[in-house]
Amino acid sequence: MSHLSTLQQLDSKHFIHPFTDHNALASAKTRIISRAQGIYIFEQNDQPILDAMSGLWCCNLGYGRTEIADAVSAQLNQLAFYNSFFQCTTEPAVLLSKRLSDLAPAHINTVFYTNSGSEANDTMIRFSHRYWDLKNKPNKKIIISRKNGYHGSTIAGASLGGMSFMHQQFKGLDYIHHIDQPYWFGEGGDLTPEAFGLKIAQQLEQKILELGVDNVAAFVAEPIQGAGGVIIPPATYWPEIQRICDNYDILLVADEVICGFGRLGTAFASQYFNIKPDFICFAKAVTNGYQPLGGVLISDRVSDVVKAAGDDFAHGFTYSGHPASCAAALATLDILEKEQIIERVKNDTAPYFNKRWQQLAEHPLVGEARSIGMLGAIELVQNKTTNARFPDEQAAGPVCRDKCVEVGLIMRAVGETMVVAPPLVISHQEIDDLFNKAWQALDLTAQQLKE
């Protein structure tokens, strides 16, 4: 038996994968990725596959970044671990806190570290509750989030998330409430995008009034929904959300686990949309995916109150501010700065990517091609005039995903929406490669669905 088959057998027997149908996996066999360079990943057979999902929305600087690997290695050799409890810390954790504060909007100057985006969202709930308790408003405990949002898979993260298929498998927290998503293509009906954006944002106001303003702590949303299908809200949406949060004194949380660190050509999407969140949740690209690290950036108005409380904020993880993860993040931020990646995305890479991506709208299978920064989505439809979908038994998304792999491209299928988040360092030529492969995969998908 080949080494590959042995690994696949062991995998099938011993490894429960996240978000995976194991019957389907057993018949398909796991694909084992063995190496990667630049924006390409390789399986055992050595065919390059263009990774238009940056790992899982995280390897924004591409693969093979020896500077990050070396920084982690040097830190592990000098001090592999020490905690940041009990009035201790380590140098990388301190330096990273300063760097992240500088990168964040001006009203944000402190950070709390976690190991993941899910824990970042748990942490922002802990901070929200603590803040309102300290402000003598102990009833403010409710968090409002959105249907089809994604905020992770801990109990709090999954409760915040609005994925109905996840809620069917566990009991969510009862103090989390959901409003609709600003998904114009799917749910906009006859409204213009602007009118729809306003209407959906105003659901927040209605929900606050329904639940009682004295009971609501915070509203959380991804600036652009990632896992939900790269849903770009109409231009009217974010200004109205900000107005409502200001008006009712509700904490605003931007979950930037996907949007942060240059994805939209700004350090954070909050700067792109000109919103003023009280918390920014981050993870993923902060280390270019090289080490697990997440956290919450906290506004001065919240952190001043929590710091001044006079007793412990009783929250933390063993690995909050792990020195090797912080060293990876520092090396990542060094590259972002040295190679001027955020500016390049804004002025060059994203405009070119957007131009090419929009051309996919001409394909017979595509009802809409939308993009912003270095995020793109296409809606697969059976009928381009009416935007009618394929019937369930024909579902185009999974077919298209497989066809992409066949032609050497990783795109993610979110139902009937294909999404990409390519590495920010992708060149024009590689964007052309991405476009050509996507078109080819769409042709093959159309052909298979016809048969």
Scanning 21-29, 202-210, 253-261, 309-317 for contacts with ligand PXG by CB under 6 A, the matching segment is 253-261
Identify which of residues 315 and 384 has a Cβ nearer to ligand PXG in the complex: 315
Identify which of residues 198 and 399 has a Cβ nearer to ligand PXG in the complex: 399
Scanning 32-40, 219-227, 272-280, 381-389 for contacts with ligand PXG by CB under 6 A, the matching segment is 219-227
d(C-alpha 430, C-alpha 248), whole Å: 47
CA dihedral for 188, 193, 197, 198, sign (positive or negative): negative
At residue 45, what is the residue type? N
Structure tokens at 250: 């509700």
Among 100, 104, 264, 283, indicate the residue that binds ligand PXG (CB under 6 A): 283
Identify which of residues 123 and 236 has a Cβ nearer to ligand PXG in the complex: 123
CB of 154 to ligand PXG, least distance (A): 7
CB of 60 to ligand PXG, least distance (A): 13
Q: Which of 275, 239, 284, 245 is nearest to 119 (CA)?
A: 284
CB of 191 to ligand PXG, least distance (A): 26
Structure tokens at 315: 């929250």
CB of 58 to ligand PXG, least distance (A): 8
Scanning 39-47, 116-124, 172-180, 245-253 for contacts with ligand PXG by CB under 6 A, the matching segment is 116-124
CB of 121 to ligand PXG, least distance (A): 6
Structure tokens at 164: 């109905």
Among 226, 277, 295, 423, indicate the residue that binds ligand PXG (CB under 6 A): 226
Identify which of residues 198 and 258 has a Cβ nearer to ligand PXG in the complex: 258
Q: Which of 128, 130, 133 is nearest to 176 (CA)?
A: 128
CB of 239 to ligand PXG, least distance (A): 21
R_g of the chain, CA atoms, integer Å: 22
Structure tokens at 375: 């995020």
Q: Does 368 bind ligand PXG (CB under 6 A)?
A: no
Q: What is the DSSP string of 177-223?
A: EEE----HHHH-TTS-HHHHHHHHHHHHHHHHHHH-GGGEEEEEE-S
Q: Does 116 bind ligand PXG (CB under 6 A)?
A: yes
Q: How many other CB atoms are there within 10 angstroms of residue 392's CB atom?
A: 7
d(C-alpha 291, C-alpha 410), whole Å: 22
* CB neighbour list of residue 95: distance below 8 Å, 6 or more residues apart: 326, 330
- Using CB under 6 A as the binding criterion, the count of chain residues that bind ligand PXG stands at 18
d(C-alpha 113, C-alpha 93), whole Å: 9
CB of 397 to ligand PXG, least distance (A): 13
CB of 319 to ligand PXG, least distance (A): 13
Q: How many other CB atoms are there within 10 angstroms of residue 127's CB atom?
A: 26
Identify which of residues 115 and 236 has a Cβ nearer to ligand PXG in the complex: 115
Asked whether the beta carbons of 281 and 255 are under 8 A apart, the reply is: yes
If you ran DSSP here, which 8-state letter would residue 154 be given?
S
Q: Does 56 bind ligand PXG (CB under 6 A)?
A: yes
Scanning 26-34, 148-156, 244-252, 361-369 for contacts with ligand PXG by CB under 6 A, the matching segment is 148-156
CB of 227 to ligand PXG, least distance (A): 4
* CB neighbour list of residue 146: distance below 8 Å, 6 or more residues apart: 162, 178, 179, 180, 181, 221, 225
Beta bridge partners of 37: 40
Among 231, 257, 302, 329, indicate the residue that binds ligand PXG (CB under 6 A): 257
Among 96, 244, 258, 377, indicate the residue that binds ligand PXG (CB under 6 A): 258
Binding site for ligand PXG (CB under 6 A): 56, 116-118, 121, 150-152, 157, 222, 226-227, 255, 257-258, 283, 294, 412
